[in-house]
Amino acid sequence: MAQPSGPLAGRRIVLGVTGGIAAYKAVDVCRRLVDAGAHVVPVLTNGARHMVGETTFNALASERVQSSLWNEADPIPHTRLGQTADLIVVCPATARVLGAFAAGISSDLLTATLIATRAPVVVCPAMHTEMWEHPAVQDNLATLVRRGTLVVPPAEGRLAGGDLGKGRLADPADIVAFCEGVLADRPWRGRTVVVSAGGTREPIDAVRYISNRSSGKQGYAVAAEAAERGAEVTLVSTVARPAPAGVAVVAVETAAQMHDAMRAHAAQADVVVMAAAVADFRPVAPAAGKIKKDRLAGEVPTVVLEQTADILADLGAHKPAGQVLVGFAAETSDLVANALAKLKRKNADMIVANDVAAENVGFEHDTNAATLLVADGRRLEVPLADKREVARALLDVVDELLAARAADGPRSVAP
């Protein structure tokens, strides 16, 4: 029988199993990892031992179950496990373990191992919907993601109590495929990517603002695709969407805040993608409180506007040599002409042009269609597809531009 030769073959994986009802699915994850050639070391919490038997994992895994900081032959088992692991997978990841990991509380063998490792950590949350949506759980998860923890999000479906909702453990096959991607030789490893997403909000008063219909979905798709290729990704976002695995999110609201964040993070980036829909105008003097109509004596208030900073043009003016800068153009007419003018005016390397008047294209949709206009004169059409497919197409072009520039010599920062 041929030996496995994929990205998991010969890799040492610590499989942490916690006390959620989905612990029984960790048995399947264990079997699939071993079948893929991994050396699997199961670490069970006391809660997990109430859900699944050690005998099962002893039979399927590469080593016997470990579960205690104190009863193992090794006096410091967490250090050995953490230092020798190529990958740690927590499946399922309960709210308790996520909280302990985020807070740095090493009260059992698994959490101590998580804190004692420099290997990639993948967590696979599984819990009831109310627990999953609790602000404490989401805050802990956001903290872990910011620190580089990778997340396989829970699925929607039938839960342990018989009701339906989000919180169901991801499919074991998807979890193993995710682990393969983490350990694969990903082509963008070592590259830095900055992406903006969402529509900015410019306040009129304390409760009202000027904005647009951007959902941020395309920007998030670009960030997710770049991270899957191995890049270190920072996402500057105005929308409250779950962060893609391994992506650091910088939350902003206004065009000025986005401008500051993009300038700060883009200076040393290899790739910058301005997918956000930035407001062109903002109120000059937003009211500090809510404007009350019963105090206006029937008159309509006047809102005086001023232009916001042109973030893409500013990034283009300060673009380091070798950096690839991508902008977006949402148009309702003269798509190519307007996008080509923007490409030249903003000193961008590519413009992703969308006809947002077309059906199922652009704002708020899960799908998009685009014309990719490249500064070297190329024009590529991306037909209507899932936004992740559009992200894949535009990053393929970026990859070609990066390769060409790498052949031209080292980067230097423009004055």
**Which residues are annotated as catalytic?**
212
CA distance linking residue 360 with residue 39, whole number of Å: 46
Distance CA 317, CA 146 (A): 30
List the alpha helices (DSSP H) in 116-254: 129-133, 135-146, 172-183, 217-228
Cα separation, 23 vs 93, in Å, equals 9
Print burial letters for 313-327: b (CB count within 10 Å at least 16), e (below 16).
Answer: ebbbebbbebbbbbb
User: 400 Cβ partners below 8 Å, 6+ apart?
Assistant: none
For the beta carbon of residue 68, count every other beta carbon within 10 angstroms: 12
Structure tokens at 23: 């612990």
CA angle centred on 403, ends 399 and 407, rounded to 5° = 165
How far is Cα 177 from Cα 285, in angstroms, rounded to an integer? 52
Is residue 409 packed enough to be buried (19+ CB in 10 Å), middle (13-18) or exposed (0-12)? exposed
Is residue 165 within 8 A of residue 131, CB to CB? The reply is: no
Separation CA 94–CA 317 (nearest Å):
47
Burial class (CB in 10 A: 0-12, 13-18, 19+), 294: exposed
Cα dihedral 265, 269, 275, 280 sign: positive
- Edge-first strand order for the sheet with 150-151 is 39-44, 12-17, 87-93, 121-125, 150-151
